[in-house]
């Protein structure tokens, strides 16, 4: 039995579908039955609870062979990141250790390092998660993904709509920072293989796609794939931060001040070599990721 946290999220939905296609028994931590109906329809067992309820985490881990931990807070107060991510992961790791779980797989974040851990509450919480797991004695695998793209969910469809329907494409910052997006299906395939792969044991891997591009190049490639000619306008980070300070708490506002800090910190690229050597899985090109999402 494999326990998946965050199973209703963007990556979680693809992961669960992949596990069930292989007829793997899956248990999903969900906060309510209504949120788990689609998972149940796929043959998953539901474990009711959340990351702030230690007792529910102990029950969820009972009889489980592996844990794949995806839960993360995207926006909120600093205390939300600490309670749900840092403290919640400590409780989940404790529950997994008590249940003698064989392997614990954590999805962390690309760009995380000692130099960046205090940049945002999100990075701080992810750093704490990694340290908790490494010190636990549990057999583990840690992934640090770049931007995750997909055709349904995630940020790529928003980028495509922006290029398709707006005569000007707004780009945050100078547009020169590089990113290395990976397809959500490829993220799921690596997580699935990590459950059993001995060579991955107790290691940390960057999870990135095969192509590095600047933000300007990304928008240019999107325009080329969908057959549009678009001018780009660069929005200074200072102006974007001022806008986020006013509107980031509104539903649907596209970015927060913390997300801008991470974006402005530099390139979001990783080492693909070690991941390819150990996992040996094919990766979608960035053009193919865009093509599929634009179809």
Tell me the fold of 2-145.
Rossmann fold (3.40.50)
Q: Among 99-113, 124-138, 155-169, whose mean pLDDT is lowest?
A: 155-169
Instruction: Identify the pLDDT of residue 252.
Output: 67
Average pLDDT over residues 40-62: 94
pLDDT-derived band at 212 (thresholds 50, 70, 90) equals very high
Mean pLDDT over each residue of the chain, to the nearest integer: 93
pLDDT per residue as tens digits for the range 91-124: 999 999 999 999 999 999 999 988 888 989 999 9
Q: Is the pLDDT of residue 273 over 80?
A: yes
CA 157 – CA 179 distance, rounded (Å): 17
* Angle 231-226-178 from CA coordinates, rounded to 5°: 60
Report the run of H or E that residue 163 belongs to, with start and end: helix 156-165
- Ranges 31-40, 262-271, 286-295, most confident: 286-295
Instruction: Identify the pLDDT of residue 281.
Output: 97
207: helix, coil or strand? strand
- The partner residues of 142 in beta bridges, in order of sequence, read 106, 204
Q: Is the pLDDT of residue 263 over 90?
A: no
pTM: 0.93
CA 231 – CA 222 distance, rounded (Å): 12
Closest by CA position to 275, among listed 156, 151, 182, 179: 182
Q: Where are the beta strands (DSSP E) in 218-294?
A: 231-235
Torsion on CA atoms 29, 32, 33, 39, rounded to nearest 10: -40
pLDDT per residue as tens digits for the range 275-289: 999 999 999 999 999
What does each C-alpha distance from 276 to 54, 93, 180 come to in angstroms? 36, 28, 15
Q: What is the DSSP code (8-state) at residue 82?
A: I
CA 87 – CA 38 distance, rounded (Å): 28
Q: Is the pLDDT of residue 257 over 80?
A: yes
> 281 with 186: CB under 8 angstroms?
yes
Site of tokens 């991510």? 85
Average pLDDT over residues 210-224: 96
Average pLDDT over residues 50-67: 96
Looking only at the bridges linking them, the beta strands covering 26-30 and 45-48 are parallel
Instruction: Identify the pLDDT of residue 154.
Output: 86
Residues in the chain: 295
| Domain residue limits, the chain | 2-145
Instruction: Identify the pLDDT of residue 11.
Output: 96
Cβ-based burial of 61 (10 A; exposed 0-12, middle 13-18, buried ≥19): buried
pLDDT per residue as tens digits for the range 174-200: 999 999 999 999 999 999 999 999 999
Report the run of H or E that residue 213 belongs to, with start and end: strand 213-214
């Amino acid at each position: 039995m494999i326990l998946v946290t965050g199973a209703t999220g963007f990556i979680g939905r693809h992961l669960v579908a992949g596990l069930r296609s292989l007829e793997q028994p899956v248990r999903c931590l969900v906060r309510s039955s209504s949120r788990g109906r689609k998972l149940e329809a796929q043959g998953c067992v539901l474990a009711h609870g959340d990351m702030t309820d230690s007792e529910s985490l102990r029950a969820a881990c009972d009889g489980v062979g592996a844990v794949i931990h995806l839960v993360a807070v995207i926006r909120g107060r600093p205390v939300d990141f600490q309670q749900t991510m840092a403290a919640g992961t400590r409780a989940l790791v404790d529950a997994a250790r008590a249940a003698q779980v064989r392997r614990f797989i954590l999805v962390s974040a690309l760009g995380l390092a000692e130099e960046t851990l205090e940049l945002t509450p999100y990075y701080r919480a992810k750093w704490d998660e990694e340290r908790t797991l490494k010190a636990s004695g549990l057999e583990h695998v840690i992934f640090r993904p770049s931007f995750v793209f997909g055709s349904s969910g995630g940020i790529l469809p928003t980028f495509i709509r922006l290029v398709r329907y707006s005569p000007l494409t707004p780009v945050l910052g100078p547009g020169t920072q590089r990113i290395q997006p990976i397809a959500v299906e490829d993220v799921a395939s690596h997580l699935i293989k990590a459950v059993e792969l001995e060579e991955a044991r107790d290691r940390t891997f960057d999870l990135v796609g095969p192509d590095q591009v600047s933000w300007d190049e990304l928008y240019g490639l999107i325009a080329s794939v969908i057959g549009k000619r678009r001018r780009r306008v660069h929005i200074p980070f200072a102006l974007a931060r001022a806008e986020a300070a006013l509107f980031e708490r509104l539903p649907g506002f596209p970015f927060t001040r913390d997300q801008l800090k991470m974006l402005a910190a530099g390139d979001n690229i990783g080492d693909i070599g070690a991941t390819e050597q150990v996992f040996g899985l094919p990766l979608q090109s960035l053009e193919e990721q865009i093509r599929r999402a634009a179809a």
